[in-house]
Chains A and B, each alone.
Chain A
Amino acid sequence: MKRKDIFLTSAFTENSVWRQILGICSALAVTNLMMNSLIMGVGVIFSTAFANMTISFIREWTPRSVRMMVQTLIIAAYVILVDIALKAWLPQISKQLGPYVGLIITNCILMGRAEAFAMQNKPLDSFVDGVGAGVGYTLVLLVISFIRELFGFGSIFGFQVLGAWWTKWSIMVMAPSAFFILAMFIWFINTYYYKVKA
């Protein structure tokens, strides 16, 4: 498979969130603001891509019995490296991210891609797959957070777009709204992208 196809498959056709229903916890937790979603997405893209590449690079020597421990260790190491780098060189962004960076370790997408793709494919292909999975995840987060932030705060990326006349919908700020927006989004994708018939 060409690298472009690997990327498109990972990001859209086999999207981790709407197709494989992975990464749901963080999709629900961080999507009340678009900036949070974007930052989380960038962190996931970086970690998935490099963890995938490293896991793929050592796959020939990795024993099956300890492979998941190895994958978790590598994922955690990359996430911690990102965290250290941000704290040392971009402290303001690190402060803004708060606990989001650490949360990436628990994201099922990273383990999912490591197990499903990186363990069977070459390092560079795995890197592209990781970028694709991260981009697909980020897109979903941005769509959900766009709706939640717009109706919940009247803003987009922190910029107020709806005036004082707008009554903010409290439900959109709370976690339950992410559940039904995500459900509607998946229904929309299934109906119009995959053409699934009810």
Chain B
Amino acid sequence: MKDSFFYPILFMLVIVIIFVGVLAVAYRSSEGKIEKYRIDEYNKTVLKLMADKIAAAIDADASEINAAYPESFAQYVKELPESDLDKRAFSAVVHDNTVAYCFEIKGKGLWGSIRALVALSTDYRTIIDFALVDQMETPGLGARIEEPWFLSQFRNRFFILNPGTEELTGKYEYIAETQEPENDMQLRRVTGATITSDAVVRMLKGEISEIYKHYEGQ
């Protein structure tokens, strides 16, 4: 029977139905949990990126703001209405004053797209904080752009140097990971991940200039 023409087809069909069925049930039963976790993680990151500014405005500690999620998120963070900018955008509002903005940005890495969240000052020129949402870079090499030392070096950096002109920063230079920056225009590159490190700066430059031009014109 095993040598017949139809047996392998039927056997394969049965095996596929069983395993795909098991996977479908497993996926469906955990889908809600996975989605809730994904949304919570995303919102927590948005809050964390703007927590320093919120904390400064209400004279509290950023860790308290983060610990009070989801109440603090509901109280201080507002999602901005969709615009032709085509990016998810949030603002941190304290006593009716906007203290920071947060945007979802995208760029091209070595192997795929990089999705990140960047919190900007209210004049859209300075990075308050920066975090990655998704990336598909090489584990252990390019994927190390998620490490705190790499991300934190973008804090408080001007990405629009001269307001009102088209001049964007092109002056940041990368130095080796093991070197100490000698000035504010130097960034440490992930060893063995030149293309990915460059892609992050390229993404920030491109996306922040787009955001700046869009909102500055309004």
Chain A residues with a Cβ under 8 A of chain B: 29-33, 36, 58, 61-66, 69-70, 73-74, 77, 80-81, 84-85, 87-89, 91, 98-100, 167-168, 170, 173-175
Contact check, A99 vs B139: say whether CB atoms are below 8 A apart.
Answer: yes
Contact check, B34 vs A173: say whether CB atoms are below 8 A apart.
Answer: no
Chain B residues lying within 8 Å of A65, measured Cβ to Cβ, are 8
Q: Is B85's beta carbon under 8 Å from chain A?
A: no
B11-19, B76-84, B100-108, B195-203: which one contacts chain A? Answer: B11-19
Interface size bracket, B side: 20 to 34
Residue of B nearest to A66 (CB): B8
Residue of B nearest to A63 (CB): B8
Contact check, A98 vs B2: say whether CB atoms are below 8 A apart.
Answer: no
Q: How many Å lie between the Cα of A30 and that of B144 in the bound state?
A: 12
How many contacts between A and B, using CB within 8 angstroms? 82
Q: How many Å lie between the Cα of A66 and that of B6 in the bound state?
A: 12
Q: List 14 A-B contacts (CB under 8 A).
A: A29-B139, A36-B140, A74-B15, A77-B22, A81-B23, A84-B27, A88-B33, A91-B34, A98-B139, A98-B143, A167-B178, A168-B178, A170-B176, A170-B191
Q: Which of B4-39 contact A (CB under 8 A)?
A: 7-8, 11-12, 15-16, 19, 22-23, 26-27, 30, 33-34, 37
Chain B residues lying within 8 Å of A99, measured Cβ to Cβ, are 136, 139
Contact check, A66 vs B11: say whether CB atoms are below 8 A apart.
Answer: yes
Contact check, B139 vs A170: say whether CB atoms are below 8 A apart.
Answer: no
Taking the nearest CB of chain B, how far is it from the CB of A162, in angstroms? Answer: 13
Taking the nearest CB of chain A, how far is it from the CB of B89, in angstroms? Answer: 24
- Sample of 8 further A-B pairs with CB below 8 A, known A32-B141, A174-B191: A30-B140, A70-B15, A73-B15, A73-B16, A91-B34, A98-B143, A170-B176, A170-B191
Q: 9 shortest A-B CB distances, which residue pairs? A: A88-B30, A32-B140, A174-B192, A63-B8, A77-B19, A66-B8, A88-B33, A91-B37, A170-B191
Chain B residues lying within 8 Å of A98, measured Cβ to Cβ, are 139, 143
Chain A residues lying within 8 Å of B27, measured Cβ to Cβ, are 84
Contact check, B139 vs A30: say whether CB atoms are below 8 A apart.
Answer: yes
Q: How many Å lie between the Cα of A61 and that of B12 in the bound state?
A: 11
Question: Which of B136, B140, B143, B177 has most A Cβ within 10 Å?
Answer: B140
Q: How many Å lie between the Cα of A40 and that of B112 in the bound state?
A: 22
Chain B residues lying within 8 Å of A63, measured Cβ to Cβ, are 2-3, 7-8, 11
Taking the nearest CB of chain B, how far is it from the CB of A193, in angstroms? Answer: 28
Contact check, A84 vs B30: say whether CB atoms are below 8 A apart.
Answer: yes
Residue of A nearest to B146 (CB): A98
Chain A residues lying within 8 Å of B11, measured Cβ to Cβ, are 61-63, 66, 70
Q: Is B138's beta carbon under 8 Å from chain A?
A: yes
Contact check, B138 vs A29: say whether CB atoms are below 8 A apart.
Answer: yes
Contact check, B26 vs A84: say whether CB atoms are below 8 A apart.
Answer: yes
Contact check, B191 vs A88: say whether CB atoms are below 8 A apart.
Answer: no
Chain A residues lying within 8 Å of B143, measured Cβ to Cβ, are 98
Contact of A81 with B8 at beta-carbon distance under 8 Å, contacts A167-B178, A170-B178 already known: no
Contact check, A170 vs B30: say whether CB atoms are below 8 A apart.
Answer: no
Taking the nearest CB of chain B, how far is it from the CB of A86, in angstroms? Answer: 10
Question: Which of A32, A66, A88, A174 has most B Cβ within 10 Å?
Answer: A88
Taking the nearest CB of chain B, how far is it from the CB of A168, in angstroms? Answer: 6
Contact check, B12 vs A66: say whether CB atoms are below 8 A apart.
Answer: yes
Q: How many Å lie between the Cα of A29 and that of B138 in the bound state?
A: 8
